[in-house]
């Protein structure tokens, strides 16, 4: 019985997230769809990495490059983003022993302008950049600096907004976990220099 009282506020937070996201969700516009099909056929261009990957996959017949593919990939990206978001929230609740104050933080996060904005930017590459940023933080926590650096390079090729969204998060997480590393401090700056 006690477990239900712990889980119910979390389920209420998930419902709040769904209501906030669905209220602001809109189909990708033409500009957002174009981000998915720009590739490197005519030379190096920013934001061309995803389009090049889609071109290679379409040549092998795995997917087709059309409007519906872009919509489905955008939808999958948003689903993965919020699955990761909910998983991290669940872990925080378990680590704080289901503190009542953490529920208020959950409700603020689930109805925040971040959720509304991500609904408006559905179809853009922002959800992928945020997922990569969270993954980089996870890699830093588990001391996988080289993989974090390689992922940061790919993220910059996907969208340059990673420098504004992901890089400060990487620097902050490296600063917060600096006592966990037993090698020189200069190696902490590999993801930044990448």
Read off the pLDDT of residues 162-180 as tens digits, 9 standing for 90 and up: 999 999 999 888 888 877 6
Residue at a domain's end among 99, 124, 149: 124
Do residue 15 and residue 67 come from a single domain?
A: yes
CA–CA separation, 171 and 148 (whole Å): 12
**How high is the mean pLDDT of the chain?**
85
Mean pLDDT for the stretch of residues 101-112:
82
What percentage of the chain has pLDDT greater than the value 70? 90
Residue at a domain's end among 105, 124, 143: 124
Instruction: Write down the pTM of the prediction.
Output: 0.83
Residue at a domain's end among 73, 98, 124: 124
Do residue 165 and residue 142 come from a single domain?
A: yes
Predicted confidence band of residue 80 (pLDDT cuts 50, 70, 90):
very high
Residue in the structure block whose two tokens are 């290679």: 56
Mean pLDDT for the stretch of residues 5-25:
84
CA–CA separation, 181 and 190 (whole Å): 14
**Does position 194 have pLDDT exceeding 60, yes or no?**
no
* Lowest mean pLDDT segment, chosen from 31-40, 97-106, 127-136: 97-106
**Does position 29 have pLDDT exceeding 50, yes or no?**
yes
Neighbouring C-alpha atoms within 13 Å toward the C-beta of 152: 26
Q: How many domains does the chain have?
A: 2
Contacts of 147 (CB under 8 A, 6+ apart): 139
Mean pLDDT for the stretch of residues 58-69:
90
State how far the alpha carbon of 24 is from the alpha carbons of 75, 119, 127, in Å.
14, 5, 15
List the domain range (segments joined by +) for residue 101. 1-124
Predicted confidence band of residue 105 (pLDDT cuts 50, 70, 90):
confident
**Does position 1 have pLDDT exceeding 50, yes or no?**
no
């Amino acid at each position: 019985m006690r477990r239900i009282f712990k889980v119910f506020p979390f389920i209420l937070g998930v419902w709040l997230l769904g209501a906030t996201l669905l209220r602001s969700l809109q189909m990708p516009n033409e500009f957002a769809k174009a981000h998915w099909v720009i590739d490197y056929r005519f030379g190096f261009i920013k934001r061309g990495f995803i389009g090049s990957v889609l071109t290679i996959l379409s040549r092998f017949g795995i997917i087709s490059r059309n409007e519906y593919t872009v919509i489905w990939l955008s939808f999958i990206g948003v689903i993965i983003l919020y699955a990761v978001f909910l998983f991290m929230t669940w872990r925080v609740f378990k680590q704080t022993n289901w503190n009542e104050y953490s529920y208020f933080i959950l409700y603020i996060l689930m109805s925040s302008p971040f959720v509304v904005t991500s609904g408006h930017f559905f179809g853009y590459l922002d959800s992928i950049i945020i997922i990569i940023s969270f993954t980089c933080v996870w890699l830093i926590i588990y001391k996988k600096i080289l993989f974090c650096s390689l992922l940061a390079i790919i993220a910059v090729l996907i969208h340059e907004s990673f420098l504004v969204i992901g890089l400060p998060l990487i620097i902050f997480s490296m600063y917060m976990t600096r006592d966990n590393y037993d090698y020189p401090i200069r190696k902490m700056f590999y993801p930044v220099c990448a």
